[in-house]
Amino acid sequence: MTAIRATVRLQFHRDFTFDDAAARVDYFAALGVSHVYASPITTAQPGSMHGYDTVDYTRVSAELGGEAGLERLVERLRAHGMGLIADFAPNHMGVGGAHNAWWLDILAWGRHSEYARHFDVDWHSPDPALRGKVLAPFLGTAYGDALQAGDIRLTWSAERGQFVVEYGPHRFPVCPTDYAAMLRQADVSVLAPLCDAFDHLTTQPEDRARAIAAQQTFTTFAAVARHAQALDAVAAAYASPEALHRLLERQHFRLASWRTAADDVNWRRFFDISSLIGMRVERPDVFEAMHGRMFALYADGLIDGLRIDHVDGLAEPREYCQRLRQRLDGLRAERPLALRATPATLVVEKILAYDEPMRRDWQIDGTTGYDFMDQVGMVMHDAAGASALDAWWTSLPGASRFTLDEQALRAKRQILAENLAAEVDRCARALHRIARDDLTTRDATFASIKRVLVEYVLHFPVYRMYPESGMRSAEDNVFFERAREGARAALRTADHALLDRLDGWLGGAPMPGTDGSGAAPPYPTPAGSHRRSALILFSQLTAPTAAKAIEDTLCYRYARLISRNEVGAQPAMLAMSSAQFHALTTSRALDFPRAWLTTATHDHKRGEDARARLAVLSEIPERWAQTVTQWSTLNARHKADGANGASVAIGPEAAVESMLYQTLVGAWPLDLTPSDAQGVAALTDRTAGWLEKALREAKVRTDWFAPNVDYERACQDFLRAILSSDPRNAFVAELARFVDTIAPAGAINSLAQTLLRVCCPGVPDLYQGTELWDFSLVDPDNRRAVDYARRMAALSDAPPSAHLATWRTGSIKLALIRRALALRALRPALFIGGDYLPLDIHGALASHAIAFGRIDRNTGDAAIVVATHLPASIASHDGLPLVTPATWADTYVDVPEPLRRAVYDIASDRERAAQPRRALREMLDACPVALLTTPVARRS
């Protein structure tokens, strides 16, 4: 098997199984990828469309085809010299429903369950109603209402040998220690033997074997018809709300409305999703229990590495990754002989701030590529358009008058108060315990600590810190200093001393005496275990706060240009120069040459080519502002409600309307015409799904917690009205006309982005189906079924330049990917491990191109990459994504000596004379990008 050089991400679910993927392996091989990168393959909640709600780490998903199906897929991959990378979610499991055996066991046995320490549960909640229990916030209504309505009921399961409380699809096992009393209450003599089996049962570990035997007796007993009738009588004894409530009060779970989770949940969630519970993977026994199946699959040669989901949710990401690397390295000797030469791939999903480097001591290959997606996105935008776009955006009615930083703080404050209140309280309690341990701070109140903590979290500039042995690193201190300065400015002076204490508790240097003398404190410092808990809880609070506030709130409120509102992006930063891009890429080449490079994911908010098209707006900000004004005027009639003789404006406010227009511009398919009523209707439906999510995520006038149905309906009505087939509706034609004018420049951006992804240092990752144009919207739109037959038919040996005339089909993008990946297969060391050399561009249009070289010092193999940059003002006006050669005038690229052997352009199938200066009018005469390399055999 070859070493990893390029991946394709596949979303597996019941409608796209291992066998479905196996049937596409010939296509993936022809495309040129080396590995399939699979969404989670362990057993998830039934019907899961993503696999991240794992319910059983020990089994390959039967819905996907089970281990036999996985073996068939890998067999097909190995026949082509390809491999498989598995996505793995160690941070959380799916709960609720009836399929997570570990979760069901803690519902039955509470903290006495053998899995109690697998989950991140606070068994010592300050709420007496939750002490020693887990909150089960799965009711659709208030607990009392559900109880009175009979929606909660007691039943029994012969298969499990249990009494179970049911609510819809959810199952809550009754603790077996209650069974004897329950059986006696029914007063049915036939139940006596079963009652004896459970008599005097306790929750202690030494009784667990007897409990298992008793449940087996239950199963056998229930198989007899008259016994089953007797068990029905037991369940009937708890039919009244009062009797059932008394039984529920004795259980190790507390049923509650889903609305209580934000305030009361006593276990760590994935962000604010109450169907995903945090795992304590930092415990060695839990680590082995969760990863055992994946280790076996790796040792058996069925997978070749792991992509780790949401690594920032873990208690100790660095230590986790180091342990994982050591285990994988230790298993290499057990793999099939042909697979032992290459170490396991190990990458992590990690969101990095622009100025935050990936830590180099984690023993990973790098991130999954959100950082690259952000960087290549910025370099496609024009910084000169920022001020005009800012002026336009802030002029819109309804747009926030706060600065973007202020908006971010407001969004974070809202998330902490409304979505993560329980998590804030848990972290504040951990800090309060530290305060009580130290005589100098024992008078610090919980309320004051929580107040200071909130400001610290609000101003924390990155996802989280990574302390080691209870102390922060120098890298952590850079970000803590910023957070401390922001918090100090926001807090009253009386809280400043406590802020300094908090800094020490959170891994800072030991605090001096409170008298300012610098002397050591006269009393013992906080216990190490309490400090470690506080560090972990703080880290697990800042990460979801940033994610929910920026990605899931601010990115749906702030719409200066939504191509920059993306997962892992920095919306405040519109653009970066090619020099900045080169500097970041050079750093990645040195530190993480095998990091992944992506431009589309299962989480993206809009497709890679939608973003590339919208980037064109940064080059024409005044024209865009004028266009939005015209469209708003044109569509104003769809906001008027003439009921009762009044005209009341309804529907989206101007800020939301402008975001809608950007969405439509980005998503409009290249083959769609205004007269295609069916196609426009399909786009309308897709956009309607986006609009609902956008409005609720923004949390301004509606949200997921309490939807404003009237407002949402008005916005949806507006969308459908402006895209209607009414002959009086001129907007659709205007929209199509505008898209048609910027689409060629958008396609140039797309091809440049594609070439940079494939040729920059790292491993290019393709998201399923994006080999053709990708104008998708946020999930579930970006997870639609892929037409692989169409893509297979579009494969061609012709160079990308041959597809220029038919560029709207996307075949030019597919051809570029295939050609570039073929070169990577031919010369892998050139792209992973080879030098990265930024190239200087001179001449009148020097700012309109980006170029770099790649060189393998061992073999002398070389490549030159050139891409058109900021094309809106220079692209030809004949409808092709190309700059007329004469337009380039005297612009040229300086080519240093090691790169002059690169003379064969795979984008146009031409050989060009070796020169120290390469004129762009020649390099880019047939295609908007060029990839020159040392001569290779032509494709047959």
Residue whose structure tokens are 């004051």: 448
Domain membership of residue 373 (yes or no) is no
Q: Determine the pLDDT at residue 642.
A: 41
Percent of the chain, pLDDT > 70?
A: 96
Peptide bond into 669 cis (omega under 30): no
Question: Is the model's pLDDT at 118 over the cut of 90?
Answer: yes
Q: Are residues 106 and 236 in the same domain?
A: yes
543-566 pLDDT, tens per residue? 999 999 999 999 999 999 999 999
Q: Which residue has the tokens 């068939």?
A: 72
Closest CA to 380 of 713, 868, 780: 868
Q: Residues, the chain, total?
A: 940
Answer whether 428's CB lies under 8 Å from 446's CB: yes
Using pLDDT thresholds of 50, 70 and 90, give the confidence band for residue 510: low
Claim to verify: residue 301 and residue 267 sit in the same structural domain? no
Shared domain check, 717 and 632: yes
pLDDT for residue 640: 66
On whether residue 262 sits in a domain, the answer given is yes
pLDDT for 649:
52
How many other CB atoms are there within 10 angstroms of residue 401's CB atom? 7
Angle (CA) 424-426-430 rounded to 5° is 115
By CB atoms closer than 10 A (0-12, 13-18, 19+), residue 917 is exposed
Q: Are residues 284 and 270 in the same domain?
A: no
Distance CA 144, CA 248 (A): 12
Bridging pattern class, strands 835-838 and 170-173: unpaired
pLDDT of residue 877: 83
For the domain that residue 173 is a member of, what is the CATH number? 3.30.1590.10
Residue ending a domain, choose from 368, 389, 411:
368
Question: Is residue 524 scored above 70 in pLDDT?
Answer: no
Tokens 């969760």, located at residue: 290
Same domain, 251 and 357: no
468 confidence band (pLDDT: 50, 70, 90): confident
DSSP per-residue codes, 334-390: GS-GGGSSSPPEEEE-----TT-PPPTTS--SEE-SHHHHHHHHHHTS-GGGHHHHH
Q: Cβ distance 831 to 852 under 8 Å?
A: no
Last residue of a domain, one of 205, 240, 274: 274
647 phi and psi angles, rounded to 5 deg: -115, 105
Tokens standing for residue 59: 């089994």
Residues 287 and 139 occupy one common structural domain: no
Residue 548 included in any domain:
no
Arithmetic mean of pLDDT over the chain: 94
Q: Which two tokens stand for residue 204?
A: 């202690």
260 and 284 co-located in one domain? no
> Would residue 871 count as lying in a domain?
yes
pTM, full prediction = 0.95
CA torsion through residues 225, 228, 230, 236, sign: negative
Does one domain contain both 429 and 525?
yes
Q: How confident is the model at residue 239 (pLDDT cuts 50, 70, 90)?
A: very high
Query: Is 311 a domain residue?
Result: yes
To the nearest 10°, report the CA torsion of 925, 926, 931, 937. -120
User: 838 and 865: one domain?
Assistant: yes
Residue 588 placed within a domain? no
Query: 834 and 805, same structural domain?
Result: yes
Name the pLDDT band for 511 (thresholds 50, 70, 90): low
Write the burial class of residue 647 (CB in 10 Å: 0-12 exposed, 13-18 middle, 19+ buried): exposed
Domain count, the chain: 5
Q: What is the per-residue pLDDT across 141-180, written as a single tens digit (0 to 9) for each? A: 999 999 999 999 999 999 999 999 999 999 999 999 999 9
Mean pLDDT, rounded, for 36-46: 98
The two three-digit tokens of residue 96, written as one number: 């609720």
How large is the angle between the packed helices 496-505 and 474-490, nearest 10 degrees?
Answer: 160
Of 522, 542, 562, the one marking the end of a domain is 542
Domain contains 916: yes
Q: Where are the alpha helices (DSSP H) in 240-347?
A: 241-249, 261-264, 284-299, 317-331
Model confidence pLDDT, tens digit, residues 627-675: 999 999 999 999 866 444 444 558 899 999 999 999 999 999 999 999 9
**Looking at the structure, do residues 126 and 244 belong to the same domain, yes or no?**
yes
**802 and 929 housed in the same domain:** yes
CA 411 to chain CA centroid, nearest Å: 19
Please list, in sequence order, all residues whose beta carbon lies within 8 angstroms of the beta carbon of residue 128, skipping any fewer than 6 positions away: none
Residue 526 banded pLDDT, cuts 50, 70, 90 = low
For residue 10, what is the enclosing H or E element?
Answer: strand 7-10
The CATH number of whichever domain residue 338 belongs to comes to 3.20.20.80
Residues whose CB falls within 8 Å of the CB of residue 219, separated by 6 or more in sequence, listed in order: 158, 159, 160, 161
Find out whether 658 and 666 touch, Cβ atoms under 8 Å.
no
With 80 as the cut, is the pLDDT of residue 598 above it? yes
* 623 assigned to some structural domain: yes
pLDDT score, position 520: 46
Q: Which of 311-315, 450-454, 527-531 has the lowest mean pLDDT?
A: 527-531
Give the DSSP H/E element, type plus range, for residue 514: none
> Which pLDDT belongs to residue 522?
45
Task: Report the distance separating Cα 36 and Cα 254, nearest Å.
Answer: 43
**Mean per-residue pLDDT, 79-93:** 98
Per-residue pLDDT band for 523 (boundaries 50, 70, 90) equals very low
Structure confidence at residue 402 (pLDDT): 86
Residue 476's domain comprises 402-542
Q: Give yes or no for residue 499 having a pLDDT over 80.
A: yes
What is the percent of the chain with per-residue pLDDT over 90, rounded to a whole number? 91
Strand pairing of 929-933 and 862-868?
A: antiparallel
* Distance of alpha carbon 576 from alpha carbon 221, whole angstroms: 72
**Over the stretch 364-390, which tens digit does the pLDDT of each residue have?**
999 999 999 999 999 999 999 999 999
CB-count exposure of residue 250 (10 Å: 0-12, 13-18, 19+): exposed
pLDDT at 261 over 50: yes
pLDDT digits (tens, 9 = 90+) for 662-712: 999 999 999 999 999 999 999 999 999 999 999 999 999 999 999 999 999
341: nearest Cα among 679, 47, 753, 3: 3
